[in-house]
Amino acid sequence: MLIYVPKETWPGERRVPLVPDTVAKLAKKGAEITVEAGMGAPCGFTDEAYEKAGAKVTQDGPGTLAAADAVLRLRKPSPEFVKAMKPGSLLVSYLEPFTDADLLDTIIAAKVDAICMEMIPRTTLAQKMDALSSQANLAGYVAVMAAANKLSQVLPMMMTPAGTLKPARVFIIGVGVAGLQAIATAKRLGARVEAFDTRPVVEEQVQSLGAKFVKIDLGETGQTKDGYAVELTEEQRERQKEAMAKVIAQSDIVITTAQVFGRKAPVIVTRAMVESMRPGSVVVDLAAETGGNVEGSQPGAEVDINGVTVMGAENFPGRVPVHASQMYSANVGNLVEHFWDKDAGAVKLNTDDEIMNGCLIVRDGELRSELLKKARAAK
């Protein structure tokens, strides 16, 4: 099996799909890997480093793509890229299948088998392959650092001869992977941290990090089998907004991370809530790319609302590309290694396996994901 790793072409993207350490790991398994010349350059990985790890380096991207049995990417490809792949080959990448119908249709028409990295099941065995979680972890860290850099005051309490500076108040909404890392990072920087989630089960996790869990009575809530929050009713959302408004008004930094898998992110912070904050405060919307949690936020932009800076996150993991690449590469490498058939010298698409059954969304020109079928039927 010829595995090809092309350069990322997404505007501004500095992450890379595979790092030399992962190449070396897969090469020892017998994988034949070819990388496009300059693929690792955005992270400082040289072509020589890939060759030393066991990969071939090619200047002929189009020719290698046409011959490849499998292609490993990070950002979703263009339809033209998919059309250039040979039928029966395997594409492993982020694919945004719930929002990019044209790309999904192109993959199906091209008879390219597709493993969607967003669809890795959230199970114990699949944790080492879970790219969404690894990148969300970094996004939570970057969110706090970006907010701290923009905030008009320091985060920790400081006792000086000139007086005592109070710690900044940070409010994290949504306690998933990104939210937990944001809590931990803000605490390490000395802030006073509060957090809220619709899932009461995470209260203990919040407290274990030294933060206060904000309790709001929403009635019956819960989470899916994959650990995602269940979508709230309209009445629950209004009750949540009313209670959160009081905390937001007292906060110096608000970071929102609330997302519903496969759907548009819910708006949970209104413009009026932002306007209630002290001028110089900062709001970071980590869900900006999927619709946004904050009214008025824009992906990749900073919006001033009554003196409050609202930052719409766009590829926050890409701001720390070396570590983001190492983590994504490990996720992809673990996936390939888990399904590697030594005798065949190829990735085995065993759909009896729970992990493969969840992430292999297209095979032999057919959409096989029931979740995507339901989402398409609902439109």
Residues designated as active site:
122, 127, 130, 133, 228
Percentages (nearest 5) of helix, strand, coil residues in the chain:
40, 20, 40
User: Is residue 309 within 8 Å of 283, Cβ to Cβ?
Assistant: yes
- Tell the burial category of 144 from Cβ atoms under 10 Å away from its Cβ (0-12, 13-18, 19+): buried
How far is the C-alpha of 5 from the C-alpha of 35, rounded, in Å? 5
Give bridge partners of residue 256 from the DSSP assignment. Answer: 173, 285
How far is the C-alpha of 106 from the C-alpha of 108, rounded, in Å? 5
How far is the C-alpha of 31 from the C-alpha of 346, rounded, in Å? 7
Which value, to the nearest 10 degrees, does the dihedral of the CA atoms of residues 269, 287, 140, 5 take? -170
Selection from 183, 184, 165 nearest residue 174 by Cα: 183
How far is the C-alpha of 156 from the C-alpha of 188, rounded, in Å? 9
User: Is residue 23 within 8 Å of 325, Cβ to Cβ?
Assistant: no
User: What's phi and psi for 168, nearest 5 deg?
Assistant: -70, 150
Selection from 349, 322, 354, 345 nearest residue 26 by Cα: 345
Alpha-carbon separation of residue 180 from 143, 173, 174 (angstroms): 12, 10, 8
- Cβ neighbours of residue 162 under 8 Å, at least 6 residues apart? none
